[in-house]
Structure formats: C-alpha cells, structure tokens
Amino acid sequence: MCVQGSLLYSFTHAASRIVDSVDGDLWIISKGTPTFDYVTPIPERYAYLALGVDGVRDAGKGIAGWAPIERPNGDKMLTMVVGVEKQYRGRLPDVADLEADKGFGDSALVIDASDARTLGYGGASKTAQIAGRRGYFLAETSGFASFLGSPIIFASYVDAHRYLRMERTQTSFIVLHVRAGYDPVAVRDALRSRMPDVDVWESSELSWRSRLFWLVQTGAGGALTIAAVLGFGIGLVLVAQAIYSITAENIEEFATMKAMGASDRDVHFVILVQSLTSGIIGGLFGLAVVEPFAVLLRVMVSWLSVPFWMYVIVVGALVLLCILASLIAVRPALGVEPARVFRA
C-alpha cells in the first residue's frame, strides 16, 4: 500500500516537476494545452503584450518540445528538450553558467543521471546529436528523471530554441512575475481578457492541470490510481480473512464469553483488538521493507520517492482497514448461540 501510494504520489509530482521548478507566478501557453508536456509554439510577442498589463512585473520565455536524439549505439530516441531564460529557471539546472564555466560558447546539455544511463551516455561518451545538431552533456542532475520514458534534456534557452528548430519569433511558454501587492488571480484574469487566444494559468493551476491530465486522462495514471485502491482492497480482504479465520477458530471462546453475559460491544472490542494487533504486526513488517523495496524499484522507476508522511497515511489506512476487517470478522462471533456451551 505504501509503495502503491508512493508510486501514485511520485507519478503526479513527476508529471508537474518542470512547472513546479520554474520560477514564475503566471504562465502563458497555447490555447487548450492539457499539460506542460504538450505545449506548442506561441508567438513571443505575448511576452511584450503581457508586460503592458497592470500588475505584471516582468516576463520570460521558455522552450519545451520533443526532438530525437541519436544514442551512442546509433539508435534514435525521442527526448524532451527544455530551456528557460536564466532568471526564470528556478530549480532547473543552470545550463548557461555551466556552459561558461566549462568554456563552451553554446551546446551544453544537462540530463538526469538515471536517464543518462538509459541513453548510454556513461563514461567518456558525452557528445550527442539532437535533431541533427551537436550538443555536449557537461553535467548530470537528479530529480528530473522522465516518467514517460523519454528523457528530459536541459539546454540554454537559445540552444533549446535551436534544437527544436523553432521560428525566431516563436517560443513555447511565457513565464511572468506579478508585482508585489497585486493579486495574481486578478492579474491572470486581466491577462485572459487581454489575450483570449492563449491560456493563462497560475503556476499552481498549471501544475495541478498537468497532474490531473496524466492521472485521469491517461491509462497510466488510471492504472496507478486503481492499483492504489486495489492495494487497500486486497489488504482489507487479507486482514478480514485472517481475522475471520481466527474468529471462526475461537468461536467456542466467543460462545463462552456470550454465555457469561458479554455484550456485542465486548465481542466487537475483542475482535478489534485482535484485528489491530495482527494488522499492526503485519504492517510493521511491511513498512520495514518499503524502503529496501523502493531502492530496488528505483532501478526501473527512477522518479519514485517515498515521502515520510506516506508512512503516516499508510498507518492511518491500516487502522481504518483493521476496523473495517473487524466489522466483517465479527459476524460469526455475534451470531454464535451461547447455549452451545452446554453441549459437551
């Protein structure tokens, strides 16, 4: 349950990782874009238009798009190229500074370490061909592993523009900062009315929209959601079955308790304690192996993370599960006829 929950959590966060990392209050993207991953070019003049709206402090541009990379073994693979102007990059890798530090004029690339291994860019092999243009992997980063299987490659804004062969007057998205004292929602609404042919979102809105897209509108997210729910359901069945068996095995003892005048509440209490005891013992064993299991899983699912609060949620779910299981398992004990105690 903990791993399933973590997979779901990590999946949704991986789906909005770039949006959450970029430093901006508002985003302008092409009309009807369901998720960051599917942005399409828009004219960069929207940045200048936005600057004319009251409350907008500054505007920056970003590039995101799909381009093929030629792997060292000659295979080709689709990658997502991302480049954001320096002052808006937020927590994205600082490719421009890296480029300068290493003495490169351009063409520096950064990739998540796990994706570098997937592509085959280990050891000395650092030169890449992206959409027929040369680039150099100068550093590896972490936390930006692709959840789609297509690696994310970070470049400077200018290089990303070049790799994607976009028209000079086009960009993928525009990021805005709102002046202090202005309500971002009010500014967003003003932008929307000024620019009806593009979408304007707050960062949190676009982040949530991206997560929701992958979670609800794709089979992958749906499968993970169902798996998480099934995890709870299977746990419920297993615990209920175990407690039911224990109750059935000890039915004579429950009959004795009832003969002595034990109320239904007493019987419920005993079975709840049994359920919680076995659930907690089993749960502790399970939680103890979550982290080792997650380490193994990260070989395949590099974006998997298990936040500490997931353990708290799982313990809460476990308690709920034990309560539900005890409600199912209590039935034979409540139905037992106390008069059977007089049968030898």
Rule CB under 8 A: which residues touch another protein?
252-253, 256-263, 266, 337-339, 341-344
Classify strands 42-43 and 170-171 as parallel, antiparallel or unpaired.
Answer: antiparallel
Shortest spacing between CB 280 and another protein, in angstroms: 18
Give min distance, CB of 257 to another protein, in A.
6
Residue number with CB closer to another protein (219 or 261): 261
Where helices occur in 137-263 by DSSP H, the ranges are 157-163, 184-194, 203-216, 219-249, 251-259
Beta carbons within 8 Å of 228's beta carbon, 6+ residues apart: 1, 4, 5, 7, 8
In the complex with another protein, the residue whose CB is nearer, 189 or 253, is 253
Question: In the complex, what is the shortest distance from the CB of residue 315 to another protein, in angstroms, rounded to a whole number?
Answer: 27
* Nearest-angstrom CA–CA distance, 263 and 159: 76
Please report how close the Cβ of residue 333 comes to another protein at its closest, in angstroms. 14
Phi, psi of 135, rounded to the nearest 5 degrees = -150, 165
Cβ 149 vs Cβ 303: under 8 Å: no
Query: Length of the chain in residues, anyone?
Result: 344
Shortest Cβ 327–another protein spacing (Å): 19
Q: With respect to another protein, which residue has the nearer C-beta, 200 or 257?
A: 257
Q: Which of 333, 343, 151, 135 is nearest to 246 (CA)?
A: 333
CB 109 within 8 A of CB 144: no
Cβ closer to another protein: 105 or 335? Answer: 335
CB of 319 to another protein, least distance (A): 24
What is the pairing mode between strands 26-30 and 42-43? unpaired
Closest separation between CB of residue 337 and another protein, Å? Answer: 8
Residue nearer to another protein on the CB measure, 125 or 256: 256
Q: Judged by CB, which is closer to another protein: 226, or 341?
A: 341
Indicate the residue among 197 and 249 with the shorter CB distance to another protein: 249
Residue 265 CB, shortest distance to another protein, in Å, is 10
Closer by beta carbon to another protein, 182 or else 269: 269
Q: Exposed (0-12), middle (13-18) or buried (19+): which is 284, by Cβ within 10 Å? A: exposed
160 touches 81 (CB < 8 A): yes
How far, in Å, CA of 190 to CA of 172, rounded? 21
Axis crossing angle, helix 2-15 with helix 219-249, rounded to the nearest 10: 170
Q: Could you count the other beta carbons within 10 Å of the beta carbon of residue 325?
A: 27
Q: Which is nearer to another protein, 198 or 270 (CB)?
A: 270
Pick from 139, 39, 119: nearest CA to 78: 119
Q: Are 181 and 97 in contact (CB under 8 A)?
A: no
Q: How far is the CB of 225 from another protein (least distance, A)?
A: 42
| Interatomic CA distance for residues 115 and 120, integer angstroms | 8
Euclidean distance between CA atoms 82 and 55, whole angstroms:
27
